[in-house]
Amino acid sequence: MSAATWGLLIATFVACFVEMVEATTIVMAMGFTRGWRSAMAGTGAALVTLAVVTAIAGFAIASWLPKSALQLVIGTLLLIFGLQWLRKAILRSSGRKAVHDEDAIYRAEVEAAHAAGQAHPGLDMFSFIVSFKGVFLEGMEVVFIVITFGLNAHDVPVAVIGAVGAVLVVLLIAVLAKRPLAMIPENLLKYGVGLLLASFGTFWAIEGLGTFRSGRQSVSWPGDNLAVLALVAAWFVLSRIFIAALRATGDPAPPAVPDAVAKVAP
């Protein structure tokens, strides 16, 4: 296997791993408090929906857009996602934002599950909807990463293998641990994924600007694909500078409410 293929596999695995940990926390909270049947039904429905979305979006993007336009659309979205992840990582590392805490998210979800009252016999809609939204929302970013990285590397199957591998590993850890996956260094992984997304996003978005000139030829980078490595290094160094500068100035912000809780409230 080539270095590029390994890079694709690792990038999709890590990105999917992080998102799956968050989704698993939500599903576990529903399963342990309101019963597994509805939680698993919601999870299954979300996975089927994600598979359909992947197939349709992948086909549409690959078939309808010229190469440079594809790079521009994909690169711009990846850059937005990547910089959002990087922003949160910088704020967390500099003490300006509460670190992502799966235990806190789990407790909040359990509280919400209790507050929703008695679980209904048969299909419990509260548990079903919260599980569905948790898996679907976290999964959408994975779908996007798999499609974009896979299409650009002309190797969607490897990207899918990376994502499915991550799903299986997280499920295995969850089954063995039987508790929220707080032991996973999620903040560090998110920082890494943010760096990757920001770097590939910068590379592809600027390449794709060529779609606006006659001939629609992509903008070429000095060093071609090797420029991605330079971008990874540059974003890493810059993020460390931002963290150091923010640590040196001002008081840290008060801890924030866990993001994931607000996102999946029915």
Partner 1 sequence: MKIVRAFGQFWYDFIIGDDWKIAVAVLLALAATLALLLAGLDDHAVAVIGAIVVVACFAVSLAIDVRPTNHDRH
Contact positions vs partner 1 (CB under 8 A): 76-77, 79-80, 83-84, 86-87, 90-91, 96, 137, 140-141, 202, 205-207, 209-210, 212-213, 219-222, 227, 231, 234-235, 238, 242, 246, 250-251, 259, 263
For the bound state, the minimum distance from the C-beta of residue 254 to partner 1, rounded and expressed in Å, comes to 11
CA max distance for the chain: 64
Residue 161, Cβ neighbours under 10 Å: how many? Answer: 17
Q: Which is nearer to partner 1, 65 or 80 (CB)?
A: 80
- Give the residue from 31, 23, 20 showing the smallest Cα distance to 113: 31
Tokens describing residue 255: 């801890």
**Which is nearer to partner 1, 57 or 110 (by Cβ)?**
57
Q: Minimum CB separation from partner 1 for residue 76, in Å?
A: 6
Q: Please, which residue, 99 or 219, has the CB nearer to partner 1?
A: 219
Shortest reach from residue 183's CB to partner 1, in Å: 26
Task: Find the shortest distance in angstroms from Cβ 16 to partner 1.
Answer: 16
The DSSP code sequence of 134-191 is HHHHHHHHHHHHHHHHHHHTT-HHHHHHHHHHHHHHHHHHHHHH-S--TTS-HHHHHH
What CA–CA distance (Å, rounded) separates 88 from 92? Answer: 6
Nearer to partner 1, 31 or 199 (CB): 199
Beta carbon nearer to partner 1, 32 or 242: 242
Six-digit token pair at 96?
A: 């300006």
CB of 195 to partner 1, least distance (A): 13
- Close Cβ partners of 251 (under 8 Å, ≥ 6 residues apart): none
